[in-house]
Structure 1
Amino acid sequence: MAQDTTTGGGASPGVVPFPSTSGDDQPKSPVRFQEPLFEALPPRERPGFSRQNSRSSLTDEGKKRSKMSMWGLICLTISMAGAQIAWVMELGYGTPFLLSLGLPEQLTSLVWLAGPISGLIAQPLIGAISDSSSSSWRRRYWVVASTIALIISTVALAFCVGIAKILVDIFTARNPTDPNTGKMIQNTAIGLAVFSFYVLDFALNALQASLRNLLLDVTPAEQLTIANAWHGRMTHAGNIIGFTLGFLDLGSWPALEFLGGDQFRKVCVVSIFVLVFTIWITVATQHEDARDEEFKFSSGSKLWDIINNIYRAVLTLPKPVRRVCYVQVFSFMGWFPFLFYSTTWVGEVMAHEINADPDVDTATRAGELAMLFYSIMAVVAGTLLPYLAQRDQRLLAGEKDEDEDAETTRIRAMVRSWKVDAARKGEPLKLPTMPFMLRNIWTAALLLYTAVMLSTFFIETVLQATIAITLLGISWAVACWVPFAIIMEYLKEMDEQSEKNRDQDVTAAARTSGGPRDPESGQQARPIHQRVMSTPARLHQQGYVTDRTPLIRRHSLIEAGTVTDMAIDYDSSQPAAGGTVLGIHNLAIVFPQFIVSLVASAIFKAVDSVATTPEDPTGGGGYVYYGKNGVAWVLRFGGICTLVAALLTRRVPPTKTEKLMRRRRAEMNFTESP
């Protein structure tokens, strides 16, 4: 606050002599003016305050995050590969391991409810809690904590039988030769395994949510698309490594002989080492900036405030984000049947091809081989497809903030210079090419998935089934990339819009509550920041023509839409709680699991209630694959759901950046035309 330097001392606070606003060495003036209202406000409520800038205590030049290198993106996203290996370990070995412990088959479905339950709870809760923190470790803290929980649960699974024996010995005084002791050890091992799977699922969901939130926080806005593409690539790489570990005979590795046990134990231990190594790289190389307490809750009822914050966020979710969530609901109603039953479907196709029930291990290996090819295809597609959406720097905004008129002038001057250069070289003028829009790529991937699922009517051999599954790697690469890239771009736009809304609110308050007064007239004058922001654009949009109306043609801009027309409406003046929104988005992903479980059960009951063979027309042979076709119908149901999702993607609006790029490209076309 400026100090009073008038004679006599004792001036009211907030009043300083003109022309100075501070200091005692300025000449005195009989004219006083009131300090602008926003100067007395907390820093985060002043005009021009940026939430992203507030995260750092650096100078203005250092506040804006610099562009990340490819190595930086790899270090940021490599931890997702480690997390995915843990998920593949659970998916590929979980059910056989539980059955080997003696858990009834009909109860295994209850264990796998851990996935959707943990997704519904862990991801939005972790996102909201980390949003409420102002620490420079608000995301990495949960990354480390989730990793520790994941390690403990995985070790408990790998050694659950040995741990069960120790627990029985400690808490009971039974004779080891007593037959009931073996039953007690078995029940304890089953209980420990089920509990460990639930802990593992909660930890895995918390880890994935924290890694997504970290990516959102540390990645510059213009690199979110490529960062999410790297996230998807690492996910696919984790799939490949995980399925490869399943094929390798780890028991023959001398370095792992001391572990004893079966293949599952060794896969668990190897996955732990890979997980720790990848998480260490990310945590050690990424640095978050401390920020102000924008989302800090009252300490008295923090948990309730967090839950209430999630509830309010669901109700007030911006329309573009809500539409992405609608797409995800139907999209994953199609994906979950494939993820759960693809290997089983390969076994049923094999049974149809050989006209007999195949060996279970042989059928399982055939299904795992198809999934390995699927993972490889996902990596290839995840590497190549982002180039379709790569944005030409010439279509992006300039380095300096500029209004629409200044940008139009700059674009036209730039195109004219390109014309001159092209004419000098005797070459045709080549304008920047518009990349594929993210929602268009998403639509195409969902339509491909639908086509493959409906092709199950005609697939009769394992080779055909393997090719179909491999093609779905393209759709999965898009599913792991595009929705998250769109959501994160929306979040950045929400953040920027909230800053503008907050600035406008404070500006209006300064204007109505008494701003600085003109030293000559004594009347209240507009603050400097108001005069700078003043523009005749609104009058021009309403059709009023004045002597200040710009003399720049708007033909191409009208065709492409003005900035105001293209802006997505985010009404809130509060910054976007990125972790909370990503958690809500995850709800749309995991919720379909409950629906798919019910629908799949109904389809299995209707289609596979009686499986017959030529040798056993009554269907009493207990065949695993032969004569069954329920999985194929579940996959077809998923294909119909993804068709609905593809139609809904057309209702997802392009991001602001995409719209502005389209407008700039239209302006370039207009300037190029004679």
Structure 2
Amino acid sequence: MPAISQWTGSPSIKGSSESMRMAFLTTCLIGIQFTWGTEMTYCTPYLLALGLTKSKISLVWIAGPLSGLIMQPIVGVIADHSKSRWGRRRPFMIGGTIAVSACLLVLGWTREIVEAVLGKSGMEGEDMEHREMVKSATIGLAVLSIYGIDFAINAVQGSCRSLIVDTLPTPKQQAGSSWASRMVAVGQLIGYAAGALDLGKIFGGWLGDTQFKQLTAVAAMTLCLTVGITCWAVSERVLISDGMEEGEKIGAVETLTKILRTATNLPRGIAAICVVQFWAWIGWFPFLFYSTTWVGEIYLRYDAPAEVKNSPDMLAQVGRIGSLSLIAFSIITFLMSVLLPWVVKAPEDETRSFTPRPPKSIASFVIEFEKYKPSLLTAWIASHCVFAGSMILAPFVHSLRAATIIVAICGISWAISCWAPFTFMGIEINRLSPSNDTSYHNLTRDSIELEVPSPVLRLQHGPDELNTSHNGTAEGSGIYLGILNLYTTLPQFVGTFISWIVFSLLEPGKSPELAKEAHPDEHHSTDGPNAIAVCLFIGALSAGAAAMATRRLRHFHS
């Protein structure tokens, strides 16, 4: 007998206008991106300063894809079946935020925590063994903290993205995704700006005695604030029954089986989007994790004066220079995320059976403009090409200005990459329903508050369709977006392996730009190619493959 899911309440968002509601719904992404930005901007040079080689650091960054591979699909399945009175997504957002904040603070104060447990390092020769033990423990705790941050923030991020798909009906999926892209850009901009500022002059010693400590503390506070705003503003429907027998639970084996079964039997449209993500993220991974260090190394190699190269706090120098280039990247990302939705045709506009009548005074201009608006699919293809064209130049860059320009241009591609896949996924998830979700979405002209016709909404599923969104309520958005994240994280393993090989061959020792002490067995010459630039070049080739894969999506959105 078909399983029956029962719900109560209606999804709604506080706010007096649609723009305010959209902003509240996506505010959580500011804190998430701030945290990612802090990790990507400072953690690579931080680990280099602790003494790790680039090849070992490339293995540390397996934390990102590994956590995404595990956390988002599992949290998605568990949340899809959650009967919490607070909704399916917000409890995971809050719990994950607390865990991320704790790990950020541990990362910032790693050395102090280790010294409190093992004792401070002495300066005498007989304390060499103790100093090495403290150093190893500091590196170990720092790496463990990074893993904790990545695992927890993936749970938060997956829940935030699912909340957007759950709350908005199909006609508003593109608007929700474009607002999410704007908030990601805002989070990046705030994070990189904070990294470029001298926080010690702003906060004094209140948040710590180093730039890195202060940045991790600010990131933790920002994440708590922004996730708190979204959780306060959004009300979810509450799942009363998922159709399972009383006392029956989804265990670990059932959860993994469900993920595997769904991932290997994806609807064709969703599968095609996942393939694009796979190729695109082989290119984006080295850019997001190493571009700050690359820009800083270009500066130190070609443009930095002697006093900067001899600075005792070279980590701060690299972080600030890299952050300045990423501020330009974030500004371009934000501007594009605001402007492009106005000049790019939404997917639903391509298939609707009516044409809106603009005011007579501007009708001719609007009609002519509509003829030349590119589709979102075309814009996505172009974004891959722009990214590939920029990154293919990376090995030939010999100035800070050129490196900054290349990084900034990539903001165009990043704006669309944060917007297009989630728009198409949201549409595909809701399109799986024959009813196209009109049975319960009551969307007024000026509001995105959603209502249901009765206190309890019952949705019928076939035996193999439990909570997989075939009813158009975005009921299974958690698992589908979790699987999309699988295709975002799996290529990061590929990227990590590629970067490990490149770093091992070209820079087997410490960073030649950041190395303070030479060792006869280590390579410290700056005469050869920059290893990160080679990784970016390889990523450009993958972006070209992503453009070809995106073209095939026309079969599903034509």
TM bracket (short chain) = 0.7 to 0.9
Question: Which residue does the alignment assign to 2:550?
Answer: 649
Alignment of 1:86-105 (within 5 A): 86-101=35-50
**Aligned mates of 1:586, 1:302 — CA distance in 2:** 22
**Aligned mates of 2:347, 2:272 — CA distance in 1:** 27
Q: Cα deviations across residues 17-47 of structure 1 (Å, max 9, x unaligned)?
A: xxxxxxxxxxxxxxxxxxxxxxxx99x76xx
Question: Which residue does the alignment assign to 1:377?
Answer: 332
**Aligned mates of 1:621, 1:426 — CA distance in 2:** 68
1:140 to 82, 90, 93: 90
**Aligned mates of 1:323, 1:104 — CA distance in 2:** 38
For 1:490, the aligned partner's letter is E
Greater mean deviation of Cα atoms: 98-107 or 348-357: 348-357
Does 1:450 pair with 2:388?
yes
Displacement of 1:115: 0.8
Displacement of 1:292: 4.7
Unaligned 5+ segments in structure 1 are 1-40, 46-50, 170-176, 398-406, 501-569, 614-618, 660-674
Aligned CA distance change for structure 1 residues 294 and 468 (closer, same or farther; 3 Å): same
Question: Which residue does the alignment assign to 2:408?
Answer: 470
Does 1:584 pair with 2:506?
no
Contact 1:603 1:634 in 2 (8 A): yes
Contact 2:44 2:289 in 1 (8 A): no
Displacement of 1:477: 0.5
Aligned CA distance change for structure 1 residues 428 and 276 (closer, same or farther; 3 Å): closer
Contact 2:193 2:324 in 1 (8 A): no
Question: Which residue does the alignment assign to 1:388?
Answer: 343
**Aligned mates of 1:393, 1:301 — CA distance in 2:** 36
Question: Secondary structure, in 3 states, of the residue corresponding to 1:291?
Answer: strand
Contact 1:79 1:278 in 2 (8 A): yes
Question: Which residue does the alignment assign to 1:341?
Answer: 290
Aligned CA distance change for structure 1 residues 57 and 380 (closer, same or farther; 3 Å): closer
Displacement of 1:67: 11
Count of paired positions = 506
TM-score with structure 2 setting the length: 0.79
TM-score with structure 1 setting the length: 0.66
For 1:224, the aligned partner's letter is Q
Question: Which residue does the alignment assign to 1:541?
Answer: none
Question: Which residue does the alignment assign to 2:194?
Answer: 245
Contact 1:239 1:375 in 2 (8 A): yes
Displacement of 1:189: 3.4
Contact 2:397 2:403 in 1 (8 A): yes
Contact 1:438 1:486 in 2 (8 A): no
Displacement of 1:496: 4.2
Q: Cα deviations across residues 573-592 of structure 1 (Å, max 9, x unaligned)?
A: 79761100100100111111
Displacement of 1:102: 5.1
**Aligned mates of 1:63, 1:79 — CA distance in 2:** 16
Question: Which residue does the alignment assign to 2:495?
Answer: 596
Displacement of 1:430: 7.0
Displacement of 1:625: 4.0
For 1:380, the aligned partner's letter is L
Does 1:197 pair with 2:146?
yes
Displacement of 1:205: 0.7
For 2:161, the aligned partner's letter is R
Greater mean deviation of Cα atoms: 430-439 or 625-634: 430-439
Aligned CA distance change for structure 1 residues 637 and 356 (closer, same or farther; 3 Å): farther
Displacement of 1:455: 3.3
Contact 2:13 2:234 in 1 (8 A): no
Question: Which residue does the alignment assign to 2:532?
Answer: 631
For 1:221, the aligned partner's letter is T
Q: Cα deviations across residues 559-609 of structure 1 (Å, max 9, x unaligned)?
A: xxxxxxxxxxx9967976110010010011111111122223333455567
Aligned CA distance change for structure 1 residues 96 and 469 (closer, same or farther; 3 Å): closer
Contact 1:81 1:238 in 2 (8 A): yes
For 1:274, the aligned partner's letter is T
% identical aligned pairs? 30
Q: Cα deviations across residues 330-370 of structure 1 (Å, max 9, x unaligned)?
A: 11111112223323443564567569998366565433322
Aligned CA distance change for structure 1 residues 595 and 244 (closer, same or farther; 3 Å): same
Contact 1:335 1:638 in 2 (8 A): yes
Please identify the structure whose Cα radius of gyration is greater. 1
For 1:275, the aligned partner's letter is L
**Aligned mates of 1:589, 1:447 — CA distance in 2:** 19
Unaligned 5+ segments in structure 2 are 120-125, 439-467, 514-519
Displacement of 1:626: 3.9
Displacement of 1:249: 1.6
For 1:289, the aligned partner's letter is R
Question: Secondary structure, in 3 states, of the residue corresponding to 1:628?
Answer: coil
Alignment of 1:181-330 (within 5 A): 184-253=133-202, 255-294=203-242, 299=248, 302-330=251-279
Q: Cα deviations across residues 189-226 of structure 1 (Å, max 9, x unaligned)?
A: 33332222211110111111010011111123211111
Aligned CA distance change for structure 1 residues 639 and 106 (closer, same or farther; 3 Å): closer
Question: Which residue does the alignment assign to 1:167?
Answer: 117
**Aligned mates of 1:391, 1:312 — CA distance in 2:** 31
Aligned CA distance change for structure 1 residues 299 and 334 (closer, same or farther; 3 Å): same
For 2:35, the aligned partner's letter is A
Contact 2:512 2:526 in 1 (8 A): no
Question: Secondary structure, in 3 states, of the residue corresponding to 1:652?
Answer: helix
Displacement of 1:161: 2.9
**Aligned mates of 1:287, 1:234 — CA distance in 2:** 20
For 1:602, the aligned partner's letter is I
For 1:480, the aligned partner's letter is C
Question: Secondary structure, in 3 states, of the residue corresponding to 1:495?
Answer: coil
Question: Secondary structure, in 3 states, of the residue corresponding to 1:591?
Answer: helix
Question: Secondary structure, in 3 states, of the residue corresponding to 1:317?
Answer: coil
Displacement of 1:262: 1.4
**Aligned mates of 1:220, 1:601 — CA distance in 2:** 43
**Aligned mates of 1:382, 1:214 — CA distance in 2:** 20
For 2:176, the aligned partner's letter is A
Question: Which residue does the alignment assign to 1:483?
Answer: 421
Aligned CA distance change for structure 1 residues 256 and 86 (closer, same or farther; 3 Å): farther
Displacement of 1:55: 3.6
Contact 2:432 2:471 in 1 (8 A): no
**Aligned mates of 2:546, 2:27 — CA distance in 1:** 30
Q: Cα deviations across residues 487-512 of structure 1 (Å, max 9, x unaligned)?
A: 11100111346989xxxxxxxxxxxx
